[in-house]
Structure 1
Amino acid sequence: MKSSINHISRVWRRLLAAFCALACMFTVAGCGSQNEAGKIRIGIKFDQPGLGFKKSGTYVGFDVDVAQYIARKLGYSETQIVFKEAPSKQREAMLQNGDVDMIVASYSITDERKKAVSFAGPYFVAGQDLMVRKDDHEINGPESLNGKRLCSVTGSTSAQVVKQKFASEVQLMEQPGYAECATALFSGIVDAVTTDDIILAGLASNARGRLKLVGKPFTQEYYGVGIKKGNVELGRKIDSAIVDMEQDGSWERAIKDNTVGVDYKPNMKYNPPKPNLGELGAAR
């Protein structure tokens, strides 16, 4: 009898523990929802200098400036913005699950991504370029890559382009992040780093003059604002905000502020782009 009572007691303790854990989980979720009530949640990168970078509890970069401008136009103050880290592989899921309201994170508009999410914009057109050491005078563009060692990020569009276009000419090192590529470039392990020009400009600015862009982009990457699939009303409001940002000078100032010390200008053949709910178009 005593054994049966102990068994029942253990079962009840397990059930009670499970119930408490479940209650705590819902309490935390509820508290999080209450804390974010009346706020706009925006996904950005935390590790891309010049675009989206978390620094001492603050967020800086061109994408951050774009996100804050859009949020203000949507009626939110700076204190009503909640920034969340949006790693490349998680962006679609974050939008689909409702973890964020929008994503501004060097998010290239592609037909494949548009199957899962919608886009506003584009708000910027980047081009894949090369970054080299300041004293390097041999690499002047993609045509001078024969026999060179390049670094890009594993799984990135930039790495895929190198494999498709230059596989027989270069040695490609893939790293988990561009900071690691920059370190490899500093130490002489590789001869150049390749990705979107504005990302390279941010890295070069952070390097305080020790690195430079080649300045001959050879692709076009249309950055859009990711939103939940089918949210046309929000997309139109974001497009309107992007137009205002381009027309009142804030867009150009944001580019300059985030590439200080680097001889960088966006390709004016494509910039500033005309936002049209993610439909790719020419510059104004």
Structure 2
Amino acid sequence: MKLHKASAAAAAALVLSLTATACGGDSDSGGGDGGKKITIGIKYDQPGLGLKTPDGKFTGFDVDVATYVAKELGYDAKDITFKETKSADRETALERGDVDFIAATYSINDERKQKVDFAGPYLLAHQDLLIRSDDSVAKGEDLNGKKLCSVTGSTSAQNVKKDFAPKAQLKEVGTYSECLSALQSGAVDALTTDDSILAGFAAQDQYKGKFKLAGLKLSNENYGIGVKKGDKEMVDKINAALEKMVKDKAWDKAVAANFGPANYQNEPAPKIGNIVK
């Protein structure tokens, strides 16, 4: 009797183990077929590019590009888990395998290419300034002595300090939303990052008429999709998906849907591998 009970218990444990394994199989992240999930790094606080809305939805150009690419890789929208990756955390997230790829206003540059690989580019943006509607900045040098805000890990603030206004007072924070609040309150004089990001913020209903883009093209920012270093197969697959997105006009539709309300004058879709210096 004791042997029978032990066998029954073992059988029950085996059934539970197999059930748990079956239930857990679909929650695996990344890289393949068979109903697995894919985890994609995006920004959560960039209207028009990567935004998590109060009801838990994800919107923006980067989100649309990532969703299109994931579909071409064999994943439905329901298979995607979007994970917030702030500027300072992107390389680490890829190195640790926290995400399968990153589409988060991720400018391709030589320093980053030492740590991660890039597909793309899929958008050419330009660094600009967001200022209060009653202010004016004619050139980057005008920021000398002014208070400048950007996010930690972004190249934008360093570009201004190095190339245009070495005497600017730099304030680095965790999110662009914090910079926007500081700009609105007068704590800083300008927010600097890519014009695509700034246009998204300026187009929000609560900020219409309060801010404007200075209209300066201070740098070229080639947005790429970040992939773990050495994963050439993933890079090639993503590049093929991006080329298809441009060819079938889904890229144009995504631009119109996300940047149209801000009257953002975007550059044409870049060619894969063509990095504009």
Q: Call closer, same or farther: CA 1:260–1:134 in 2, change over 3 Å.
A: farther
Q: How many Å apart are 1:75 and its aligned residue? A: 2.1
SS at match of 1:243: helix
SS at match of 2:66: helix
Gaps of at least 5 residues in structure 2 are: 1-19, 29-34
Q: 1:202 aligns with which of 186, 200, 212?
A: 200
Q: What residue in structure 2 maps to residue 35 of structure 1?
A: 27
Q: What residue in structure 2 maps to residue 162 of structure 1?
A: 160
Q: What residue in structure 2 maps to residue 214 of structure 1?
A: 214
Aligned residue identity for 1:40: I
Q: What residue in structure 1 maps to residue 150 of structure 2?
A: 152
Q: Call closer, same or farther: CA 1:173–1:229 in 2, change over 3 Å.
A: closer
Matched, 1:186 2:184: yes
Instruction: Give the superposed CA RMSD.
Output: 2.6
SS at match of 2:27: helix
Q: What residue in structure 2 maps to residue 281 of structure 1?
A: 275
Q: What residue in structure 1 maps to residue 233 of structure 2?
A: 233
Give TM-score, length-normalised by structure 2: 0.80
- Separation in 2, partners of 1:147, 1:29: 61
Q: What residue in structure 2 maps to residue 244 of structure 1?
A: 244
Number of residues of Structure 1 aligned to a counterpart in Structure 2: 250
Q: What residue in structure 2 maps to residue 112 of structure 1?
A: 111
CA contact under 8 A between 2:37 and 2:79: conserved in structure 1? yes
Q: What residue in structure 1 maps to residue 6 of structure 2?
A: none
CA contact under 8 A between 2:180 and 2:191: conserved in structure 1? yes
CA contact under 8 A between 1:108 and 1:222: conserved in structure 2? yes
Q: Report the identity percentage.
A: 51
Q: How many Å apart are 1:240 and its aligned residue? A: 1.4
Aligned residue identity for 2:37: K
Q: What residue in structure 2 maps to residue 124 of structure 1?
A: 123
CA contact under 8 A between 1:131 and 1:214: conserved in structure 2? yes
Q: Call closer, same or farther: CA 1:211–1:101 in 2, change over 3 Å.
A: same
CA contact under 8 A between 2:156 and 2:194: conserved in structure 1? yes
Q: What residue in structure 2 maps to residue 171 of structure 1?
A: 169
CA contact under 8 A between 1:205 and 1:260: conserved in structure 2? no
Please list, as runs of the form range in 1=range in 2, the aligned pairs for 1:41-80 lying within 5 A after superposition.
Answer: 41-55=39-53, 56-80=55-79
Q: Call closer, same or farther: CA 1:231–1:175 in 2, change over 3 Å.
A: closer
Q: How many Å apart are 1:144 and its aligned residue? A: 3.9
CA contact under 8 A between 2:131 and 2:189: conserved in structure 1? yes
- Separation in 2, partners of 1:272, 1:198: 14
